[in-house]
């Protein structure tokens, strides 16, 4: 019973600490994003409104297309590497199983069929 009591208190303590840490990290990340947006908005205010909108849309499109294509390429390469590793592992296991199966069939054939021997 004492282990269960310790588990429950540890679980709740961990949940509380995790919530606090997550909230602090979330606030830090949000403040950084807000400061970047504020700087971009100040830059747009100093420009002509139509030019600012066009520039903003171009920046977002360029940033998203560059990051998306790079992320896709990175993910594709990573998957190709993992597939190659899996194929190599499968081949190794097949060879090992082939060696085991061929040895076991030889061992069975070498055994005498009578109980006397």
52 Cβ contact list (under 8 Å, min separation 6) = 43, 44, 45
8 Å CB contact between 79 and 90: no
| 80 in any annotated domain | yes
8 Å CB contact between 47 and 55: yes
Mean pLDDT of all residues in 62-76: 77
State the pLDDT at residue 57.
Answer: 65
State the pLDDT at residue 34.
Answer: 74
State the pLDDT at residue 27.
Answer: 87
Percent of the chain with pLDDT over 90: 24
Question: What pLDDT digit, counting tens, does each position of 23-62 carry?
Answer: 998 888 888 777 777 777 676 666 665 666 666 666 666 6
| 38 in any annotated domain | no
8 Å CB contact between 52 and 44: yes
| 53 in any annotated domain | no
| 79 in any annotated domain | yes
Can you give the residue range of the structural domain that contains 91? Answer: 67-106
| 47 in any annotated domain | no
Domain count for the chain, please give it.
1
- Give, rounded to a whole angstrom, the gap between the first and last alpha carbons of the chain: 60
pTM of whole model > 0.75? no
State the pLDDT at residue 90.
Answer: 93
State the pLDDT at residue 115.
Answer: 58
- Asked if pLDDT for residue 72 goes beyond 70, the answer is yes
Q: How far apart are CA 104 and CA 113, in angstroms?
A: 16
Q: Tokens 């679980």 identify what position?
A: 11
């Amino acid at each position: 019973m004492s282990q269960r009591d310790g588990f429950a208190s540890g679980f709740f303590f961990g949940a509380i600490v995790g919530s606090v840490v997550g909230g602090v990290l979330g606030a830090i990340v949000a403040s950084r994003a807000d400061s970047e947006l504020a700087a971009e908005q100040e830059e747009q205010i100093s420009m002509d409104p139509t030019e600012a909108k066009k520039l903003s849309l171009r920046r977002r499109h360029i940033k998203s297309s560059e990051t998306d294509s790079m992320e896709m390429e990175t993910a594709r390469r990573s998957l190709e590497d993992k597939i190659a590793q899996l194929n190599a592992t499968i081949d190794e296991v097949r060879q090992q199983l082939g060696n085991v199966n061929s040895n076991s069939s030889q061992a069975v054939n070498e055994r005498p069929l009578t109980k006397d021997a």
